[in-house]
Amino acid sequence: MKINKLVLGLGLVSIAFTGCKSTQVATTKTKATATIPAMLTATDAIVAKKGIMTPAEIKAWPHMDIFKDSVPGISLERAYDFVKGKKATMVIVGIIDSGVDVEHEDLKDVVWTNPNEIAGNGIDDDKNGYIDDMHGWNFLGGEKGALAPEQLEVTRLYKAAKVRFEGKTITEVAATDKADFEMYQELKEVYLKKAAGGIETLDRMNFLMDAITSIKSYLGKEDFNLSDVTTIKTEDTKLGEQVAAITAIYGRGVSEKQISDYRESLLSNKQYDLDFNGRVTGDDANDWSTKSYGNNNVIGGGKDELHGTHVAGIVAASRNNGIGMNGVAENVQIMTVRAVPDGDEYDKDVALAIRYVVDNGAKVVNMSFGKAYSPHSKWVYDAMKYAEKHDVLLVKAAGNNGEDIDLPSYVHFPTDSPVKGSLEIVDNILTVGAMTRHFDENLCSSFSNYGKTRVDIFAPGSEIYSTVPKDNGYLSIQGTSMASPEVAGVAALVRSYYPSLTAPQVKYIIINSGIEFNREVIIPGTKSKENKEGTRTNFNDLSVNGRILNAYNALVMADIMVNGK
């Protein structure tokens, strides 16, 4: 879901992935296919960078080198030095997301173009069911510039169950319907809690906007800054509370515009609206038989839908062109599939999106989205298996709840481990947690999900600078949504220089070639008013191998696996 899949970085509220009841325990079944080489992995002697980093350094941190810069980036410059002079092949990377600005100055030169389709002739030249799909497909439909508001899956499911069971008790329900009734009760509880949380957040934004208005009136000026606020001395209790709130928020670098924009987004939010139906494609989302719907408008909502464009830039923004920023991978083309609305994605759209990118030649796919319920999960599982059969690597975000997703009480769809105690149903999926630039106890992003068996690798996910649609713009935001494309970019880099490697082999390389951090970290999500210091554990306990993504090491391991040196 668009809003829930990144942390806005405003210091206002953590907008996060949701979770629900599950009976899953996942393990990685990828087996070693080569001896792990002596790479640059040990960091016990590394001392974290001291002093304040400049804005330019913060923008560049994800690509830095822990051994040279004392910042836990992915060692990208060292990686490119390693492959200098080596032959590379073009790799197509599918971006299943909210849409990508394929006209952006830093993306237009890396956009995939369908070689079997003639632009604008209104004919399905390649006979794949999608007319004029020049750069991908838009399963959400809608005109260029049109947003895609949508309900959460829990809202859709609760609405359907409400029709059947509202006002009934367990004794009034037929024996064959009791399981559905119990699910209805769970859905109702989750829905009401989430809806109340949304209202509470909106109330907070209303309070902050009222506070700004009061402070403007008190100061007699339309624009004010943090220094102005700290000069206010008042006996008025209400104004005092408002000043304290704005002092705290402005102190975290949040502006009036950010608060106002966020409030407006909450006012237009349809995630909990039981009466809303955002689907404009004309198909039935519960009917798998209809697959040719949507249009070729891959940009979608344009400047107001930044997520997919930001993700695409992380993977493949044009390198060394003198503008904007550098993506991770060169020799890459971005194939765009718009399937993630401002709410929860539909299983049908996700399954068809995966099949679309596979059928059109993608070898790596980024999936920075997720939700708590999946009524048609089988369609998605089948699509995952389809991708595995065609040797396509799927990279997905772990989610932003700050929770242990190994727990039986948690699930995050799409998942590759649907049955408790089973191995993963496929071996071509990487799940990615997010980390910061701080090589100390604050290494893990506070919002990131984690899990010793369900999270494969951690990658840069806080303060990530990348492309956004508005005015060929750039912005720093954070989320596991940003960590996932860092991994997708490295996977594409590996597949570009070592195309003989299979998707499971690339997965193995990513997991096992990362740098180590054999120290304690603050477990994401454990800081609170009652536990200000947070709870700590060894970083190794938070993912499969306790490693941090490293592009250089990945290429070294790939080279040894292919060339045996």
Task: For residues 144 and 159, state if they share a domain.
Answer: no
Segment 260-284 shows an average pLDDT of 92
Provide the number of structural domains found in the chain.
Answer: 2
Query: Is residue 283 one of the residues assigned to a domain?
Result: no
Task: For residues 474 and 351, state if they share a domain.
Answer: yes
The per-type count for the chain, helices as H runs and strands as E runs, is 14, 13
Task: For residues 450 and 426, state if they share a domain.
Answer: yes
Query: Tokens at residue 128, please?
Result: 């794949």
DSSP 58: H
- What pLDDT score was predicted for residue 10? 43
Task: For residues 144 and 179, state if they share a domain.
Answer: no
Domain at 551, CATH number: 3.40.50.200
**pLDDT exceeds cutoff 80 at 16:** no
Task: For residues 130 and 160, state if they share a domain.
Answer: no
User: Where is the domain boundary, 215, 248, 267?
Assistant: 267
pLDDT tens digits, 201-236: 999 999 999 999 999 999 999 999 999 999 999 999
Query: Is residue 544 one of the residues assigned to a domain?
Result: yes
Query: Tokens at residue 253, please?
Result: 């670098």
Task: For residues 140 and 172, state if they share a domain.
Answer: no
The parent domain of residue 18 ranges over 3-148+294-563
pLDDT tens digits, 98-134: 999 999 999 999 999 999 999 999 999 999 999 999 9
Chain mean position to CA 440: 24
- What pLDDT score was predicted for residue 7? 45
pLDDT tens digits, 198-208: 899 999 999 99
Q: C-alpha distances in angstroms, 223 versus 212, 233, 260, 559?
A: 10, 18, 14, 58
Task: For residues 192 and 248, state if they share a domain.
Answer: yes
As a whole number of angstroms, the distance between CA 310 and CA 101 comes to: 9
Task: For residues 478 and 373, state if they share a domain.
Answer: yes
**Using 50, 70 and 90 to split pLDDT, how confident is the model at 565?**
low
- Range 429-445 burial, b when 16+ CB lie within 10 A, else e: bbbbbbbbbbbeebbbb
Task: For residues 157 and 144, state if they share a domain.
Answer: no
Query: Is residue 416 one of the residues assigned to a domain?
Result: yes
Q: Do 539 and 478 contact (CB within 8 A), yes or no? A: no
Q: What percent of the chain has pLDDT over 70?
A: 92
DSSP 371: B
Segment 137-144 shows an average pLDDT of 94
- What pLDDT score was predicted for residue 48? 84
As a whole number of angstroms, the distance between CA 451 and CA 457 comes to: 10
Task: For residues 388 and 446, state if they share a domain.
Answer: yes
**pLDDT exceeds cutoff 50 at 5:** no
**pLDDT exceeds cutoff 60 at 29:** no
Task: For residues 87 and 223, state if they share a domain.
Answer: no
- What pLDDT score was predicted for residue 343? 94
**Using 50, 70 and 90 to split pLDDT, how confident is the model at 421?**
low
Task: For residues 324 and 468, state if they share a domain.
Answer: yes
Query: Is residue 49 one of the residues assigned to a domain?
Result: yes
